[in-house]
Amino acid sequence: MVLSAGLQDCGTESRVHGKWLVYSNQLFVFPAVLPTLTGSVIVRGTTIVIPVECHYERKQTVKGEPLVPTWIPLTSTISAFGLLHFSLHTMAEDCSSRRSSSVYQQGAAVFLEARVEAPLHPPLALFVDSCVAAVKPDPFSVPSYEFITNRGCLMDSVLPGSSSRFLPRVQHNKLCFSIGAFRFNHSSEEQMFISCHLRATLKQTSASPQNKSCFFHSPTFRWRATEGDSALCECCDSDCSTLTEDRDTGRPETEKHEADRIIGPLHVLHQPHWTGRLSVG
Query: What's the mean per-residue pLDDT of the chain?
Result: 78
- Confidence bin at 18 (pLDDT 50/70/90): confident
Q: Report the pLDDT value the prediction gives residue 256, as an integer from 0 to 100.
A: 54
Query: Has domain 76-269 been given CATH number 3.40.50.1110?
Result: no
- Per-residue pLDDT, averaged over 17-25, amounts to 81
Which of 58, 110, 188 has its CA nearest to residue 102?
Answer: 110
| Ranges 22-26, 61-65, 74-78, 102-106, most confident | 102-106
Cα dihedral across residues 73, 124, 232, 227: positive or negative = negative
Which of 93, 65, 59 has its CA nearest to residue 77?
Answer: 59
| Ranges 12-26, 69-83, 189-203, 250-264, most confident | 189-203
Write out pLDDT tens, residues 208-245: 888 899 999 989 999 999 988 889 899 999 888 776 55
- Give the C-alpha separation, 73 to 255, whole Å: 14
Write out pLDDT tens, residues 39-61: 444 445 566 778 888 887 776 55
The domains of the chain are located at 13-71, 76-269
- Per-residue pLDDT, averaged over 241-252, amounts to 52
CA quadruple 181, 187, 188, 191: dihedral, nearest 10? -40
pLDDT over threshold 70, residue 33: no
- Per-residue pLDDT, averaged over 176-183, amounts to 92
- Confidence bin at 173 (pLDDT 50/70/90): very high
pLDDT over threshold 60, residue 189: yes
Bridge partner list, 15: 22
- Confidence bin at 19 (pLDDT 50/70/90): confident
- Per-residue pLDDT, averaged over 189-206, amounts to 86
Cis peptide, bond prior to residue 69, ω within 30 of zero: no
CA neighbours closer than 13 Å in the CB half-sphere of residue 248:
8
DSSP 37: T
Q: Report the pLDDT value the prediction gives residue 114, as an integer from 0 to 100.
A: 96
pLDDT over threshold 80, residue 126: yes
Q: Report the pLDDT value the prediction gives residue 118, as an integer from 0 to 100.
A: 81
